[in-house]
Structure 1
Amino acid sequence: MTKLKDKVTSLESKKTSRRKFFKAAAATGAVAAASLAMPNISVAQSAVTLKMQSAWGPSDADPFFEMNKQYARKVEAMSGGSLKVEVLPVNAVLKTAEIADGVSTGVVDAGHTVTAYWYGKNPASSLFGTGPSYGFSSQELMGWIEYGGGRALYEETLKATKLDYVGFFAMPMPAQPFGWFKKELKSVADVKGMKYRTVGLATNVLQGMGMTVLQLPGGEIQPAMKTGLIDAAEFNNPSSDKNFGMQDVSKFYSLGSFHQSQEMFEITFNTKKFNSLSKQHQSILRIAAEAANSDNYWYALKRYSDDLNKLVKESGVKPFPTPKDILAEQMKSWDKVVADFSAKDPLFKRIVESQKAYAKSVMKYLFMNQPDYTIAYRQYFGDPSKVVV
């Protein structure tokens, strides 16, 4: 009891000292400087820490893990330290496929992943990142989510899947490479019967092209290709692929594909935990995702391009554009897959129809207005596929 009284007396003494200090500071015009120097005891006492299970890491060299931490740093900075996100590497508490359920049930407070990882629970999840393009990239798909009716459909999909969390999106990923092959692809005939790794609806699309598809976690891809379990594979980007050591099992890298041409991160928070936060903290979690959207993308473009150059120079990797007949076959397969799932699931069909309506309008403007930027690039540097950096 004596110790408690001493603490109260000490705090009262500090409050009295502060009042005297402010009076003196006001007299000298130094209030602003004094407020900056004063210790912020209330923030330290009321700080909230959310445990976020990442689908990435644990190495800081993992670009996605770094992007996850960029988001966490923004949350802390925007809240003045009153809200923190502790980023846990993949498998720290939950495996990749367990994250959606783990956040929903409160095993962890939050998750940083992609919707395709709960594709097994509901194929419609793949439409929020690994669905058909309709001419748009991930930038425009995110525009559809926020301004084209996509958010309401996303929340309806969560409810239909019995996932109890609040989700935000960040990082409009560049179109993913078709991946790593034992030889350069010349035509669609080269992929028939091939054992290949991907995730989400892309699994159905490539199976429709005559490929045998396995869904494997990122860390298992390179060993599977090394042992012959699969013949070819994709993950996401040159930096992640380089970290996995794909250049040690293949030298032929097919760039540009419609199998996963517009994906982004899904940042999730357990609903009960999210609702327990102040309105200010809730807004910070949402706005930080918007800020990370730009930061992640800028970081990705620089790192991906640097790592692609390293793969070519240091490892003898031979990047090449995916043949046009393969792209055409992918589009045909997408049409069949979408038609099949739409016939089974009215919600799936409504999501597709909403995306098509948005793309038809927005992409018309973009395609009519934006110049062909490859013209400018070729004028100064030459054919992009042959430029040595």
Structure 2
Amino acid sequence: MDKERMTAETTKERKTWLGMDEVQLQEAGGTFTAKEITQQPLLWKNTWALVNKSKAALQAFLNDIYTITDMEVVLTGAGTSAYIGSILRDPFQKSSRKNTWAAPTTDLVSHPHHYFQPDRTLLLVSFARSGNSPESVAAINLANAICKKAFHLIITCNPEGDLARMGDRPDCFVFHLPEETNDRGLAMTSSFTCMLLAGLLITRIDRINRYAETVSRLADYGDRIITRYTQPLKDMASLDFNRALFLGSGPLQDAAQESQLKLQELTDGKVICKHDSFLGLRHGPKVVIDHKTLIFFLYSNEDYVHLYEADLVKSILATEKGIGQVGISEFPDNDLQATLAISFSEYEEKIEEDFLSVCSVLPAQILAFFKSVNLGLKPDAPSANDTITRVVQGVTIYPYRADHIHSFNRL
């Protein structure tokens, strides 16, 4: 076999991620991130299997807690992990039938008295990729110190993290995601979608078998996005934009927030990003749109919600349309003409709206990866001056004393 033929066959056999092979990814400094984006559809199926396997234990833990009369639920995490809690607030409130709030650990630590009550029982649901963020551990310790009684459901990607080590306590249940979800790249991709999916499934744990088909469809959606839209998103990333706006409604507003963070993180802040609801944008924030703004529309699959979304999109396309638009929807919408229209369903029936938040972040992940490469950054470690790190650094946790708060109340 001649050298030219051998080279051609070797190239053909190379596996690619986001259209790039191992050599190209290494040169770009994006090996981990590209693989972690691409692996998500498979990991969603694995996540369902793990939740299903833990069904009996999860039901026993949660059902006992939900019978407590004065029980309240707080969903928490830091950064990306906090957005998971925001998406899951309504599903947890419906499943627990308890007052439920979502609050970042960064709020819980500075203002624990706003969330933890000494005369209440608490279920603190913590989401963490590494489980080593100082605020995550501090939030659990504060809940234990302040509340009448605190229980903990910890959903984490790292079985060796500080939070995972709390699993031996009788008041704590630790759910471990597949090992591959513990992203090695800076940006949370697999970890976000798999922790979110685990949370959605846990809120439906009593009927989880019904959601095997939903998760299978989500995996199909993810594969379709990666297969059909990677190149168009790569092309969009080459546009000369320095701002990006992400819009969503309900659970997709929080997915929009996660999407904007991905683009801002992976471009080391060179692209400034904002998110809002479709209705909220009209009340002032619309002024951020200029000729170098890329706009993302994360569409709901609820007809009532989409009426408001369509009105806003038509208004934008008639005036401040930016440098381009990306429309992301379960089904095609021929009435709304974006520069790039991404639809991911070939099924006749829609899935439940909050499950769309799992796959609707993939386009932003992919575009952010290529924008990072275009800017000469390394997607696995895009922060040139270590402004941000995989596990936050430099946070001092101070002792909490109730008399600190009481002194403020007396002023």
Q: Identify the TM-score tier after normalising by the shorter chain.
A: 0.3 to 0.5
Mark the structure with the bigger radius of gyration.
Answer: 1
- TM-score norm. by structure 1 comes to 0.33
Q: Which one has a larger percent helix, Structure 1 or Structure 2? A: 1
- TM-score norm. by structure 2 comes to 0.31
